[in-house]
Structure 1
Amino acid sequence: MTAPLLELTDQERTVLWDRAEDVVHHGPQAAGADALPARIRHTVQRFGEDSGKTGYLLLRGLEIGQLPPTHQGGHPATLPHHGTAGLGMLIAETLGTMIGYADEKSGELVHNVQPLPGEEQRIEGSGSVAFDFHIENVHHALRPDFIGLICLRQDHDRVAATRISSCREAVELLKPETLETLRQCQFYSNYPGSFTRDTTVEPAPAGPHPVLFGNADKPFMRFNSHNTVSLSKAGRTALRALAEALEEVCHEVIMQPGDCALLDNHVAAHGRSAFTPRYDGHDRWLRRFYAIKSIPRSVLHMMDGSRVIPPIPAINGIW
């Protein structure tokens, strides 16, 4: 199945970039409901209402402006107040509310996904080894509803693919008994490395939870092939079958500079193929952002006007 693709016109690209460069200095709260050009806004809104069978949308042809080297002296660039952060704000606010997490990257709203020297083997954005299928923040009770990935630079060899697989396509390959097992509350998900970088004690895994839930014809998924486990043989067999089915239906997208992939984080798992960084200033570089449809009132009070979800221990008592 071909995923939805929207290619921007030159006029849309210019208008959107001008608005992005403005809003980035004021924050996502300055992104009005009609901030995106009409055709882009309507497409993104429709995706937010129903992400369809593939669970993702590709916007192509965004302006990305002038960029510094990906790395300088081994240190990654951060791009404060760059227009690409404004693009993320405008798109995220069209999908819902832009958020960050206090216990991930210090609550930043826009993340730089770039390989880091010495972290090549890490199973997260700073690595360059293959990264298998996962939804974002599988362990968290307030997972993002949507994630966005904006490509600033490709890898040197142009082989690094963003791999996207929809549970709504994968379930068609699974046996009824496997689907029944995946809907049982018998699975546990460990914290990803981005949440445990600064901890010395491994947090207890989240769960038990189902891997598949929702209507049979439009299921949702809570799964990370690296972090989701089961204590039962049937559960482990079902997880392997799901991983194989996701592989079978995978869409491989080699993102170009100016591409923005929007993913329904409850429908589409994603991963990345391996690549070889050179740390010469021209390595692969994406920017990532999150959007959520709603936040419980009690959590909003704890956030005190910010867009940062409090640390997990502070909100554990809500669920």
Structure 2
Amino acid sequence: MNLMTQDPTGLVLPEPDGRRMRELASRAAVLSGASTAELADLLLDMPGGLRQGLLDFAAGTSGQGCFVIRGLPVGDLPGTPQWHGSRVLEQHLTTGVLTLVADLLGSLIGYQDEKDGALIHEVHPVAGEEQRIENSGSVAFDFHTENVHHPLRPDFLGLLCLRQDHEGVAATRVASVRDAAALLTGAQREILSEPRFRSAYPTSFARNIAARRPESGPHPVLFGAEPNLFMRFNSHTTSGPDRESDEALRALAAALEETCREIVLRPGEMVVVDNHVAAHGRSAFTPRYDGMDRWLRRCYSLRAVPRWAEQMMPQRRVLPELKQISGVL
């Protein structure tokens, strides 16, 4: 079974809806720090087709685990940043787009441990970091669910394309566990469902850690049951305690590869991924560092933040440092 040629579920915004989103996103972008409740009027005014499509996707019944939106406004852009931590688009139109999408799915959130709690992440190549397996790299990035090590992983993530790579070949690769599981044996699925695996912190959470990166506590890679099967997996950081565990992980990676969908995003196109259903990755591309390189923006959405975690937040929407909540969940 090979699903790579099949387009994922999605919609194309008609021009009037695109103009409506531009207006709403422009208003949301300047409401820095506003809560989901404070954005309620803007969320209710989103174009009906887009709003309903996202609400249906948020219900969690998608077998594909991804939803593509085309025709979103991007607005005027500066050159693609060439360094970490750029905040050149803090109140940009696209900040509003991502905020509204994330808040319709759940609530826009960030992590204090990652990028100093930034709510919107810039995804672009950085010179000298081509081989890094994170936002700043340009090598192929294999399948992973986002923040696999964390007890409060995002429910959804969104990737909005602002600018393609020069050759227009870089693809966002998405693979659903609900497709891939059919290619696993019963024994492999049983092994992957046991809490025997550990996942190291991703490099985006460990830039300032000189020693070996910490690991999560033991967890299953597969959980739930058909048709509601879920996944917690990073091909780069998840490992097992023995040979049969590692063989099962390799089988899962191969099954995800066999069933993946490749989405070449163009400016104004966004893919939303169910982070418990689908793993995602990126194909390789060649940056030029000329101010016109590939540039995406990423957001996370969480359906519900525990009250205790909310009260520990260093600032609104930013989850506390992992060391403060380690072992709680």
User: Under TM normalisation by the shorter chain, which class is it?
Assistant: over 0.9
1:23 aligns with 2:28: yes
**TM score, norm. by length of structure 2:** 0.94
Tell me the residue number matched to 2:3: none
How many residue pairs are counted as aligned between the two chains? 319
Instruction: Single out whichever of 203-212 and 223-232 deviates more from structure 2.
Output: 203-212
Segments of 5+ residues of structure 2 without an aligned counterpart are 1-5
| Offset, 1:74 | 9.9
Q: Map of 1:131-280 to 2, 5 A cutoff?
A: 131-280=141-290
Q: Which of 135, 145, 157 is matched with 1:125 structurally?
A: 135
CA spacing shift, 1:110–1:73, aligned 2, 3 Å = closer
Kindly report the root-mean-square deviation, in angstroms, between the aligned alpha carbons of the 2 structures.
1.6
| Offset, 1:35 | 3.8
| Offset, 1:241 | 0.2
Instruction: Single out whichever of 293-302 and 194-203 deviates more from structure 2.
Output: 194-203
1:131-160 C-alpha deviation (Å, 9 max, x unpaired): 000010000000000000000000001110
1:3-61 C-alpha deviation (Å, 9 max, x unpaired): 21200010000110111111111135242141421111111000000241100000001
CA spacing shift, 1:110–1:35, aligned 2, 3 Å = farther
1:88 aligns with 2:101: no
Segments of 5+ residues of structure 1 without an aligned counterpart are none
Hey, what's the Cα distance between the residues in 2 that align with 1:312 and 1:271? 24
Hey, what's the Cα distance between the residues in 1 that align with 2:314 and 2:82? 36
Amino acid in structure 1 at the alignment position of 2:224: G
Identity of aligned residues (%): 47
Q: Which of 286, 304, 317 is matched with 2:296 structurally?
A: 286
Hey, what's the Cα distance between the residues in 2 that align with 1:222 and 1:93? 23
Q: Which of 299, 310, 314 is matched with 2:309 structurally?
A: 299
1:49-103 C-alpha deviation (Å, 9 max, x unpaired): 0241100000001110000010369995631210101000000000001100000
Hey, what's the Cα distance between the residues in 1 that align with 2:245 and 2:85? 42
Instruction: Single out whichever of 186-195 and 215-224 deviates more from structure 2.
Output: 215-224
1:143-199 C-alpha deviation (Å, 9 max, x unpaired): 000000000000001110000000000001111111001001110000001000122
CA spacing shift, 1:289–1:16, aligned 2, 3 Å = same
| Offset, 1:216 | 2.8
Tell me the residue number matched to 1:115: 125
SS at structure 2 position matched to 1:20: helix
Hey, what's the Cα distance between the residues in 1 that align with 2:314 and 2:200? 28
CA spacing shift, 1:107–1:90, aligned 2, 3 Å = same
- Contact 2:82–2:127 (8 Å) recurs in 1: no
- Contact 1:165–1:269 (8 Å) recurs in 2: yes
- Contact 2:85–2:115 (8 Å) recurs in 1: no
Amino acid in structure 1 at the alignment position of 2:201: Y
- Contact 2:111–2:320 (8 Å) recurs in 1: yes
Instruction: Single out whichever of 22-31 and 115-124 deviates more from structure 2.
Output: 22-31
Q: Which of 13, 16, 26 is matched with 1:8 structurally?
A: 13
SS at structure 2 position matched to 1:206: coil
- Contact 1:76–1:114 (8 Å) recurs in 2: no
